[in-house]
Structure 1
Amino acid sequence: MKTICFFNSTDQWGGGEKWHLETCIYMQQQGYEVLFICNEGSELHKRLKKTTVEYVLIKITNLSFLNPFSFIKVKKILKQHHIDIIIMNLSRDLKVAGIAAKLAGVKRVIYRRGSAIPIKNSAINRYYFSSVVTDILANSIATKRTVLENNPNLFPEEKIEVIYNGIAIDSFLERDFKPVYNKKLDEFVLVNLGRLEFQKNQKFLIDIAQELKFRNLNFKLIIGGEGRLKDDLETLAQTLNVKEEILFPGFIKNPKDIMHSGDVFLLSSLWEGFGYVLAEAALCKKPIVAFNVSSNPEVVINNETGFLTPLNDVHLFADKIEYLYNNPEIRKEMGLKGYNFAINTFDSTKTQTAIAKYLIDA
């Protein structure tokens, strides 16, 4: 029986952490020996406490690879637990745990790539991907493409597997929800959900609100999430005179609370490895307007389940919103098509089965 180690040192919670935790629990439920290594006090640590998964706490930072004791500690943990497979999600983890795994004789060192950002063609990356990493697991075709974008010889393409992120669809659909906003009569409500950070590009949505107000649409825009840019976004909304049209409800624990508050879901991200929120919006039967970038075309079928526009094109993005504003039947039809597509494509029972086969059969 192979023993699998999931290694993730981030303190925050995001799509990669969700994938790591859910996959670890699934593999444990299938009878495999699993171990989770994470930072003490991290969001993963808090959630692991509520499971029966065995975990080990460490403290890894961006500079840990400069400390030889970090390698020694991780190597010791891996050898004590007889780890056969290790899966890492961050570049800083690869620099520490990847080397430690190599020294400990771990058979498969898997770098799970969840961000559609090209890997730098640096000397250190060429070393890690030629001498440390044995396999790469990507969460979308777009993510796989970016691995070799700067250097087609960085890693063997045939060793890069694509398995989409999965959603536990039945439990998602059965989950109760409480809308964060009750729309007024004839009001058109647009929603967005994500960390308030540069990647998510919510500044663009403030510009969209200004454009929609100029077009005299009766709308409300709800931007859910927390992040470092919250104050900047609220200031921009006031500067552009759309403060009354926009709500910032803060962190949203249950995505259905915000999805079911609106008519259309908007995604302004500059890139996505795999947009969980797009699949969740589709499961809530919401049409989507997003950019035609990275993995979005793999989750949104353009002109069928939503619209994909060029990056940061305010006028065309607003045109698509206005079209949906004026055509409620199209909104309903697109929402239903998106729902069916998500159910058939992103069901976690299918994706987790594929992951288990990938981990064990190789």
Structure 2
Amino acid sequence: MKTICFFNTAKAWGGGEKWHLEVSQYLNDRGFSVFVIAHPDSVLAAKLSKTNIPFQTIALGNLSFLNPVKRVIVKKTLAKRQLETIVMNLSSDVKIAGPIAKQLGVKRIIYRRGSAIPIKNNRLNRYLFKNVLTEILANSLATKKTINQKNPTLFPKDKITVIHNGIAIPDNLNRISWDNKKHFTLINLGRLEYQKNQTFLIDVAKQLEDRKVEFKMIIGGEGRLRKDLEQKISEFNLRETISMAGFIDNPMEFLKQGDIFLLPSHWEGFGYVLAEAGLCGLPSVAFNISSNPEVIKQNKTGVLTPPNDVDAFVEAILKLSENKEDLIEKGKAAREYIINHFDKAKKLKEIEGYLLHG
């Protein structure tokens, strides 16, 4: 039986790593031959060690493709397997594993692209996309659009497939009852990094405080921005209003504390957390950028605002918060939309069909 290799050497845990773990586990459980390569210091490797999925760790970085020793290690690792397909996660994975997979005669060399950032039109990328990659699997229409944004002929559009991320639909997920809530709660969850733009939420909270709105804000996640966020919260005297919850192991349990989910990301390949919030029955307020309109239906399951417009963002929150019945209805609509469009079981079957049958 030919093997599918999932090649993901990211250290941090994010949507791409979750996808590689879940898809490889699903296919492995279905009896297909899979193999995963991960970074030894990664969350993915730690999670793989608790499964029955065959995997190997290799320490790679962005410039490893220039290191002959690293290339030999990767080539020997891949050559041991009868690979028909390789699915790569990072651009650095593509740089080193893509050409080696081609040398080894791997039939399908797939870049699973999960970031809605335009691909640079440089010589190396032109070589990789025109001569090495056979297909691209994108996680959103927005991601697909950015692939050829800087070079319309970089990659054939008919070789780019879009399959949205799936989300597990629990049998029973109850929100905290409105009547039992002590505070109207605005909630956010994500890595504390520039992309996620949580500093914007502190400006939003400051304006809400200035307008005498009674609320609490909870920001979940860890990352490099934590100290900067805590400093800004102190400077604005918002320590009683905003709480930093740290790393969240169970997103669903965390999100159902909220009344409105807030996502001020500068970009999203696929706003997985928007889907999680919708499944919890929360309407969302987010920027009208990248893939957000694929997850939020404007004024039906949430509100999309111009990017980095504090006034518009605050007005959207106020409009939702002032009508309890409308808020609840939008939350119900969000849940229904996520169940109908992003059911994980259906998405895994779709991915299986794509990987096994082309």
Which of 337, 341, 352 is the equivalent residue of 1:341?
337
Please give the secondary structure, in 2, of the residue aligned with 1:5. strand
- 2:216 is matched with 220
| Aligned equivalents of 2:126, 2:156: Cα separation in 1 | 12
Please give the secondary structure, in 1, of the residue aligned with 2:83. coil
Deviations 1:49-81 (A, max 9, x none): 111111111111112111112222212221211
Which of 227, 244, 250 is the equivalent residue of 1:248?
244
Are 1:307 and 2:313 matched, yes or no?
no
| Letter of the 2:252 counterpart | K
- 1:133 Cα deviation after fit: 0.5
| Aligned equivalents of 1:96, 1:89: Cα separation in 2 | 12
Aligned residues: 356
- 2:140 is matched with 140
| Letter of the 2:246 counterpart | G
How has the CA–CA distance of structure 1 residues 353 and 197 changed in structure 2, closer, same or farther, with 3 Å as cutoff? same
| Aligned equivalents of 1:230, 1:263: Cα separation in 2 | 24
User: TM-score if structure 2 supplies the norm length?
Assistant: 0.97
Contact 1:271 1:294 in 2 (8 A): yes
Runs of 5+ in structure 1 lacking a partner?
none
| Aligned equivalents of 2:7, 2:266: Cα separation in 1 | 27
| Aligned equivalents of 1:196, 1:117: Cα separation in 2 | 19
- 1:3 is matched with 3
Please give the secondary structure, in 2, of the residue aligned with 1:317. helix
| Aligned equivalents of 1:144, 1:267: Cα separation in 2 | 21
| Letter of the 2:220 counterpart | G
Are 1:352 and 2:339 matched, yes or no?
no
- 2:112 is matched with 112
Deviations 1:104-123 (A, max 9, x none): 11111000000000000001
- 1:84 is matched with 84
Q: 1:37-186 alignment to 2 at 5 Å?
A: 37-170=37-170, 173-174=171-172, 183-184=181-182
| Aligned equivalents of 2:202, 2:350: Cα separation in 1 | 40
| Letter of the 1:248 counterpart | M
Please give the secondary structure, in 1, of the residue aligned with 2:337. helix
Are 1:275 and 2:271 matched, yes or no?
yes
| Aligned equivalents of 1:162, 1:175: Cα separation in 2 | 29
- 1:287 is matched with 283
Deviations 1:109-162 (A, max 9, x none): 000000000000001100000111100000000000000100010000000000
Contact 1:178 1:257 in 2 (8 A): no
Runs of 5+ in structure 2 lacking a partner?
none
| Letter of the 2:197 counterpart | N
Contact 2:40 2:57 in 1 (8 A): yes
Contact 1:75 1:103 in 2 (8 A): no
- 1:361 is matched with 357
- 1:178 Cα deviation after fit: 9.6
Are 1:24 and 2:24 matched, yes or no?
yes
Contact 1:177 1:256 in 2 (8 A): no
Deviations 1:212-269 (A, max 9, x none): 0111110001011111111101111111222221000111111123211111100010
| Aligned equivalents of 2:263, 2:181: Cα separation in 1 | 20
| Letter of the 1:72 counterpart | V
How has the CA–CA distance of structure 1 residues 59 and 177 changed in structure 2, closer, same or farther, with 3 Å as cutoff? farther
Please give the secondary structure, in 2, of the residue aligned with 1:129. helix
How has the CA–CA distance of structure 1 residues 330 and 353 changed in structure 2, closer, same or farther, with 3 Å as cutoff? same
- 1:30 Cα deviation after fit: 2.0
Q: 1:181-196 alignment to 2 at 5 Å?
A: 183-184=181-182, 187-196=183-192
| Aligned equivalents of 2:93, 2:235: Cα separation in 1 | 41
| Aligned equivalents of 1:175, 1:259: Cα separation in 2 | 11
- 1:274 Cα deviation after fit: 0.5
| Aligned equivalents of 2:33, 2:174: Cα separation in 1 | 33
- 1:174 Cα deviation after fit: 4.5
Which of 291, 312, 318 is the equivalent residue of 1:316?
312
Task: Note the aligned Cα RMSD (angstroms).
Answer: 1.5
- 1:176 Cα deviation after fit: 9.2
| Aligned equivalents of 2:2, 2:148: Cα separation in 1 | 30
Contact 2:88 2:110 in 1 (8 A): yes
- 1:169 Cα deviation after fit: 1.1
User: TM-score if structure 1 supplies the norm length?
Assistant: 0.96
| Letter of the 2:272 counterpart | Y
| Letter of the 2:353 counterpart | K
Please give the secondary structure, in 2, of the residue aligned with 1:244. coil
